[in-house]
Amino acid sequence: MERWAGKVAVVTGASVGIGAAIVNKLLDNGLIVVGLARRVEKVKELIDDRPEAKLHAVECDVTNEENVVTAFAWIKENLGSVDVLVNNAGVTKETTLSDGSLADWRNVLDVNVLGLCVCTREAVRSMRECDGESVIIHISSLAGERVPAVPGFNVYPATKRAVNALAQTLRHELAGTKIRVTKFSDTLVALSDHQPRTGSNRTHGKLLGVHTRGTYGNASSIAE
C-alpha cells in the first residue's frame, strides 16, 4: 500500500460499516480519501475522529446522476484525478419476489447496479486523464455467487451477481490500460451494533442460521 500514499481514493457508501472501515484503512496508508454518502454527517464524524487525516466528506446519492457528476467535478477541481474507486454503496429491502413492490426492487437496482455504473463511469473518465496506475474495486457479496435459502432477499442476490459481471465486463473494456479492475465478495456484516447490512432482525436471524460460522463478519477485517 505504500505506493498509494498521497493518491486520491473515492469510497461510496462511506458513512458506516464496510465503507467506513475502508475509509479508515486507506487513511492509515496515507491516501487522500473522499467519502461519498447520503448521510454525509457520518463521514464528517470520521473527520472529527481523525483531524490529522486527509479525509473529505461529500454528500452524494449514487442513484442521482447529477449528484455523482457534481461530486466527481468537485474532486477534479480540488484534488485532481481519481486514482482509486471503491464502489461500496449497497442496499437491500426485505420483501419477496411474489409480493414485493416495484419501488423497493427499483431502489435496490438503482443503488447496487446503476449507481455503481455511474460512479465507475465518472471515475474512469478521471483516471484516463493521468498516466499513473489506477484501480477500481467493486464490493460484491457472497449472495451473488450462492443465493442463501432465506426469504426476503428478492432482487439483492441478482444485483450482486450483476456487480460481478460488471467487474468482468469493465476489465475487458479497460484491457491494455493502466486501470485495474477487481471485485471483492463480502460476507454478512454488521453495520453497527443494532443494524447489520441486510434487512430486518428477523432476516438476520435466518441468515445466521445458514451462515457457516453463525456470526456476523467484521467490517474492519474485510477492509484489510
CA angle 4, 6, 12 (to 5 degrees): 75
- Beta bridge partner(s), residue 8: 32
Nearest to 202 by CA among 127, 87, 110, 94: 94
Q: Which of 72, 105, 153, 156 is catalytic?
A: 156
Based on its alpha-carbon atoms, the radius of gyration of the chain, rounded to whole angstroms, reads 17
DSSP string computed for 67-119: HHHHHHHHHHHHT-S--EEEE---------TTT--HHHHHHHHIIIIIIHHHH
Residues 6+ apart with CB under 8 A from 9: 26, 31, 32, 33, 34, 82, 83, 84, 85, 86
156 is catalytic: yes
C-alpha cell at 109: 437496482
Active site residues: 156
